[in-house]
Amino acid sequence: MQIILHGKPAPHPRPRATVFVGSVRMYSPKTKWRTSIEEQLKLHKEDPLTGPLKVRLHFRIPRPKAHYRGNPENGVLRDDAPERPTAQRIGDLDNLSKAVLDAMNGIVFVDDSQVVHLSSMKTYASDASLAGCAANIFPLK
């Protein structure tokens, strides 16, 4: 099964803690990306997969305007524009993956603990409108 998620990928944030009436409450803040994924997955009408799964995630990150000569719409990259998205602000691949897998819980599969093989990569999108994540999910025997 392939699911295409549109939007600007963002890493899953670290859990936060707050004190309320003398007790500590832990929570994970949601990003716009996570909310967007959940909205897009509402269209997924199949029953959640069960059993072991192999998942391939390909994140396509939009290039910053600073990578282009002049107007980004002309598509001409600067000579020193990096070929691969390695900047820290883009996020670690494991945190990008966690955001997608957590959003798929209970919708695409019962729980992300079913994922026994995970392959993920991030590249720059050739066009900002193509930013997002292509998720391929394969049931294993």
Indicate the pairing of strand 115-124 with strand 53-61.
Answer: parallel
Split at pLDDT 50, 70, 90, the class of 107 is very high
Alpha carbon of residue 6 to chain centroid: 9
Strands, E, within 1-141: which ranges?
A: 2-6, 16-20, 23-27, 53-61, 115-124, 132-139
Contact indicator for 57, 133 with CB cutoff of 8 Å: yes
User: pTM, whole model, 2 decimals?
Assistant: 0.84
Rg (the chain; Cα; Å): 17
Give the integer Cα–Cα distance in Å for 118 and 120: 7
For 41-73, write each residue's pLDDT tens digit: 988 889 999 999 999 999 999 998 889 888 877
What's the structural domain count of the chain?
Answer: 1
Residue of 67, 56, 65 lying closest to 122 (CA atoms): 56
Instruction: With H, G, I as helix, E, B as strand and everything else as coil, classify residue 88.
Output: helix
pLDDT given for residue 30 in this prediction: 78
Q: Which two tokens stand for residue 118?
A: 């995970």
Q: Which two tokens stand for residue 116?
A: 């026994």
Give the integer Cα–Cα distance in Å for 116 and 137: 11
Can you give the residue range of the structural domain that contains 124?
2-139
Instruction: With H, G, I as helix, E, B as strand and everything else as coil, classify residue 52.
Output: coil
CATH number for 12: 3.30.1330.70
pLDDT given for residue 57 in this prediction: 98
